[in-house]
């Protein structure tokens, strides 16, 4: 099975929170690096691309490719800049449709959003974008870096289980339904 996955990372101002050590952004980027390596170990023929949400916009960081080290190298926090503004889930969904809709139908088109903010600031109706994802057979999943890490010992334990199993993305049934997004 060939998978085409767009990984969208929240770099809104919520990612600068200090509730995880050393900060939430460092924790998110570390988990994403591990996820990318594990994803390619389990799916060597697949392709992955990375985008970031910041200031209400979504910026494509990398094109879809099969090189895990090239993807991991782009996730250097020093090169990404600092977290700012709001996250926009609608813009992330729209980007996934524009990048993934033209891919061959024999591959699975997938979107994984790693969210840090508690809300999304969208220019329109996010449900319309979710319907567009579903119409283009894009399966989606999201993970939120939860607050309240004070309960967990080394600080990053709160987030460590979020991205450990790459096969959860689009594996048969997603949380939203068998075909991906299920807007109400």
Domain that holds residue 15: 3-168
Confidence band, pLDDT 50/70/90 cuts, at residue 22: confident
CB atoms within 10 A of CB 110: 25
Q: What are the pLDDT digits (tens) for 31-43?
A: 999 999 999 999 9
Is 36:9 a contact under the CB 8 Å cutoff?
A: no
Is 47:5 a contact under the CB 8 Å cutoff?
A: yes
- 69 φ, ψ (degrees, to nearest 5): -70, -35
Q: How many domains does the chain have?
A: 1
By three-state DSSP, how is residue 46 classified? coil
Could you tell me if residue 64 is inside a domain?
yes
Write the CATH number for 64.
Answer: 3.40.50.410
**Using CB atoms within 10 A of its CB, is residue 79 exposed (0-12), middle (13-18) or buried (19+)?**
exposed
Question: 31-45, 65-79, 100-114: which range is least confident on average?
Answer: 65-79
List of residues 6+ apart from 55 with CB closer than 8 A: 12, 84, 85, 86
Give me the pLDDT at residue 175, please: 38
- Tally the C-alpha atoms within 13 A of residue 35's C-alpha that lie toward its C-beta: 30
Could you tell me if residue 173 is inside a domain?
no
Confidence band, pLDDT 50/70/90 cuts, at residue 79: confident
Give me the pLDDT at residue 178, please: 37
Could you tell me if residue 139 is inside a domain?
yes
pTM: 0.81
């Amino acid at each position: 099975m060939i998978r085409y996955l767009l990984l969208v990372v929240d770099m809104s101002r919520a990612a600068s929170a200090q509730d995880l050590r050393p900060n939430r952004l460092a924790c998110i980027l570390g988990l994403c690096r591990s996820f990318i390596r594990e994803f390619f170990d389990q799916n060597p023929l697949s392709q992955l691309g990375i985008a970031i949400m910041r200031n209400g916009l979504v910026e494509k960081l990398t094109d879809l490719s099969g090189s895990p080290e090239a993807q991991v190298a782009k996730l250097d926090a020093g090169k990404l800049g600092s977290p700012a503004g709001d996250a926009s889930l609608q813009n992330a969904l729209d980007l996934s449709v524009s990048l993934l809709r033209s891919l061959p139908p024999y591959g699975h088109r997938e979107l994984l959003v790693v969210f840090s903010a508690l809300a999304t600031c969208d220019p329109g109706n996010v449900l319309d974008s979710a319907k567009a994802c579903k119409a283009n057979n894009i399966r989606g999943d999201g993970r939120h870096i939860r607050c309240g890490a004070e309960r967990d010992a080394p600080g990053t334990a709160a987030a460590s289980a979020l991205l450990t199993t790459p096969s959860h993305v689009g594996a048969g049934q997603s949380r939203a339904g068998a075909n991906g997004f299920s807007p109400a």
